[in-house]
């Protein structure tokens, strides 16, 4: 099979992913093989490729927003069958036995394996996934529309929940890329007014198009206090102003897997009055199932920009530059 392989991390400007011919994978017990049709290009892929996350498996095929068709079944698979359309997300496997797995918090499992990080992902013609962590894809969505939901959508949804935002309240989004452009649609479905802080004018334009009540920069701050906010940009320097923008009792959720250093916080200005700073770590399987159920009901419409598999380096370069309109996807079918 053809795959874009990362042998050694490096700046995406140097095109570190190599087009490689590899043996087709074969599913093991409890696994299925998926013939990849589309794979989303996620900021986490960028962090892996550029070495901003702790080093894991090398070489590795990135990609964890994968949509495709099951074309081979491994032993001990009981529910999926050949021809099923499924999605492969970031969380690939957990131990199932620890206190976190037993309490519905498998995203915190110390033995969790992640797609495109510990095991090969979807920047390839074929990918493997445990049956337990394969997502059925609702017919509401095309492959291109569904792919960003598998990480950008799920993480945005989990972050939104962790702000404890309620209908009629004011939500702030800092950064307006793939995840935020999905999250705004859910928040509006919940009856929230959304305020967007973003650097790039094309991202601000998309935010206005999707119904943001105010769009501006983090330095100027929203015109009203926020009951909750999500920081999508991996920029620690935005944490203090985002906290200052919160109403008393508000929560700021940090949605990224990686972030630059957070400056020293002023307790009185930024945390007092029971403001909460909340991180978001991966997702549970239930987060994904809930997200797809709600996304179908809205229905969410993702904005995507397509690239070929061979153009994966270019897609990551544009993601880093902030020039992708919505979410980037690699198309293989």
Mean pLDDT of the chain: 96
**Structure tokens, 321:** 């530059």
For the cut 90, the answer to whether the pLDDT of residue 221 exceeds it is: no
CA nearest neighbour of 194 among 220, 237, 230: 230
pLDDT bucket at 33, cuts 50 / 70 / 90: very high
Q: Which fold has domain 2-150+282-331?
A: Quinone Oxidoreductase; Chain A, domain 1 (3.90.180)
What pLDDT score does 253 carry? 98
Which regions of the chain carry the CATH code 3.40.50.720?
A: 153-279
Domain with CATH 3.90.180.10 in the chain: 2-150+282-331
The predicted pLDDT at position 9 comes to: 95
In this prediction, residues 204-214 reach a mean pLDDT of 96
Least confident of 118-122, 268-272, 321-325: 321-325
User: In the structure encoding, which two tokens stand for residue 205, read together?
Assistant: 């334009």
Place of tokens 């996350």: 53
170: helix, strand or coil? strand
The predicted structure's pLDDT at residue 333: 74
Distance CA 205, CA 192 (A): 19
- CA 319 to CA 12: how far, in whole Å? 10
Vertex 62 angle, CA 181 and 2, to 5° = 120
pLDDT digits (tens, 9 = 90+) for 59-72: 999 999 999 999 99
What is the pLDDT, as a whole number, of residue 85? Answer: 98
| Residue 220 in this model has a pLDDT that exceeds 90 | no
Residue 221: left if φ>0, alpha if ψ -120 to 50, beta else—which one?
left
Q: At CA 295, angle to CA 290 and CA 296, rounded to 5?
A: 105
Angle ∠(258,261,262) on CA atoms, nearest 5: 105
pLDDT of residue 262: 97
Cβ pair 31, 131 in contact under 8 A: yes
Q: Are 77 and 86 in contact (CB under 8 A)?
A: no
Q: CATH assignment of 153-279, given 3.20.20.70, 3.30.1280.10, 2.60.40.1180, 3.40.50.720?
A: 3.40.50.720
Contact 20, 5 (CB under 8 A): yes
For residue 17, give both structure tokens. 């992913």
The per-residue pLDDT for range 185-194, each reduced to its tens digit, is 999 999 999 9
Residue 121 has pLDDT above 80, yes or no: yes
CA distance 202 to 173: 16
**3-class DSSP assignment, residue 178:** helix
Say yes or no to pLDDT of 218 above 80.
no
pLDDT tens, 150-195? 999 999 999 999 999 999 999 999 999 999 999 999 999 999 999 9
Answer yes or no: are the C-beta atoms of 288 and 89 closer than 8 Å.
Answer: yes
The answer for residues whose C-beta is within 8 angstroms of residue 290's C-beta and 6 or more apart is: 157
User: What pLDDT, on a 0 to 100 scale, did the predictor assign at position 310?
Assistant: 98
Per-residue pLDDT, 325: 83
Query: For residue range 89-104, what is the model confidence (pLDDT) as tens digits?
Result: 999 999 999 999 999 9
Q: Scan for tokens 């900021």, then name that residue.
A: 43
């Amino acid at each position: 099979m053809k795959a874009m392989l990362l042998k050694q991390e490096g700046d995406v400007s140097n095109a570190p992913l190599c087009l490689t011919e590899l043996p087709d994978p074969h599913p093991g017990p409890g696994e299925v093989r998926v013939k990849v049709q589309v794979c989303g290009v996620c900021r986490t892929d960028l962090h892996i490729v550029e070495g901003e996350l702790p080093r894991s498996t090398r070489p590795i095929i990135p990609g964890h927003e994968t949509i495709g068709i099951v074309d081979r079944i491994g032993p001990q698979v009981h529910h999926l069958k050949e021809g099923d359309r499924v999605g492969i997300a970031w969380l690939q496997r957990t131990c199932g036995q620890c206190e976190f797995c037993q309490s519905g918090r498998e995203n915190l499992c110390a033995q969790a394996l992640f797609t495109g990080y510990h095991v090969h992902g979807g920047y390839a013609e074929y990918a493997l996934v445990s049956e337990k962590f394969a997502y059925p894809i609702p017919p509401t969505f095309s492959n291109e529309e569904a792919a960003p939901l598998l990480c950008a959508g799920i993480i945005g949804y989990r972050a939104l929940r962790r702000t404890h935002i309620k209908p009629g309240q004011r939500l702030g989004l800092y950064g307006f890329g793939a995840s935020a452009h999905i999250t705004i649609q859910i928040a509006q479905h919940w009856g929230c007014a959304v305020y967007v802080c973003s650097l790039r004018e094309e991202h601000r334009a998309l935010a206005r198009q999707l119904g943001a009540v105010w769009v501006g920069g983090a330095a100027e701050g929203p015109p009203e206090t926020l009951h909750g906010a999500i920081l999508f940009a991996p920029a620690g320097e935005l944490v203090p102003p985002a906290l200052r923008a919160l109403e008393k009792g508000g929560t700021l959720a940090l949605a990224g897997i990686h972030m630059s250093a957070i400056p020293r916080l002023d307790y009185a200005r930024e945390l007092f009055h029971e403001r909460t700073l909340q991180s978001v770590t991966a997702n549970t399987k239930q987060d994904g199932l809930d997200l797809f159920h709600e996304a179908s009901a809205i229905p969410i419409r993702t904005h995507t920009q397509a690239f070929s598999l061979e153009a994966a380096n270019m897609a990551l370069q544009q993601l880093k530059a902030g020039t992708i309109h919505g979410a980037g996807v690699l198309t293989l079918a």
